[in-house]
Amino acid sequence: MEKIIEIVGQTDGPTSIILVGIHGDETCGPIALSEVLPTLKIERGRVLFGYGNPKAIKARVRYFETNLNRMFKPEKTLSARELNSYEYNRAKFLKKYLDQADALLDIHSSSNPNSQSFIICEENAKDIYKYLPFDLVVSGFDAIEPGGTDYYMNKQGKIGICIECGNSNDPKAISLAEESIQKFLKAREHISGELKEYPQNLINIYRLYFTKTNNFKLAKNFADFESVSQGQYIGIDGKQPIQVDKDGVILFAQSKESIGEEVFLLGEKINGKSDLS
């Protein structure tokens, strides 16, 4: 699990990488990869497969010392604690393989039983994401929540795609991950097969809120991508009411009891556009 798996096709082609288990408690990706790999035949190019955080996967925890999915940003932005973590060294290892690839598929899932499936990427991934079986595509994470594997690829002018497959324990999420691996490999021309485009709604994330106190309480439980309106009350940070600044959607909303925690994201729907630009 520590090592990268490499499969090379019979003819020349592009190099791609597929990662699972960047967060160790997100079991969907590792299960899907274990189902796909035994019978997978790569026809063209080279494909790398990796288990992002083996130590956390074995322990069934999100991370061992710090969030691996924030370790792919410039070192000068990392704290001393992060620089001395297992995840920092794991990120250094994974970067050696990300540097060899032209496109990435990073598979995630959630512990929330009501979580929704969606794609995280930027406009440069359109020729791939349009073939992935999701109806929701979200952009803007690179600007407000940097440090993921997809951010690292995008900053190099490559293609970084992260997929959120829903609840980790839902068999549908595992099937979605397996299907996405196959569709990604077809779109990258590593394997042959027909592809179809999916109708997709587009959302741009524009705001990430961090707690200012050690007591942030939500006004209610928000579903991911629930519609919110300008002026709507989201919660209270200490004694400060927090409101929505414009109509849009909310996701990953949660109450927290520490300063500097990520507690919600706000996004706006992109209407009447066929891409993320």
Residues of the chain with pLDDT under 70: 271-277
Would you state the structure tokens that stand for residue 234, as one six-digit string?
A: 């989201």
Give the pLDDT score at 275. Answer: 44
Alpha-carbon gap, residue 63 to 85, rounded angstroms:
10
Q: What is the pLDDT of residue 271?
A: 61
- CB count within 10 Å of CB 273 equals 11
> How confident is the model over 235-255, as pLDDT tens digits?
999 999 999 999 999 998 999
pLDDT at 157: 97
Output phi, psi for 163, to 5 deg: -115, 135
Is there a domain that residue 148 lies in? yes
The answer to whether residues 112 and 60 belong to one domain is yes
pTM score: 0.91
Q: Which domain range does residue 230 map to?
A: 207-270
> For residue 1, what pLDDT is reported?
84
Task: Give the pLDDT confidence score for residue 276 in this predicted structure.
Answer: 46
For the chain, the domain total comes to 2
Q: Is residue 110 part of a domain?
A: yes
How many other β-carbons are positioned within 10 Å of the β-carbon of residue 96? 9
Residue 201 lies in a domain: no
User: Do both 158 and 238 map to the same domain?
Assistant: no
Burial class (CB in 10 A: 0-12, 13-18, 19+), 145: middle
Check which CATH number belongs to the domain holding 225 and give it: 2.40.50.630
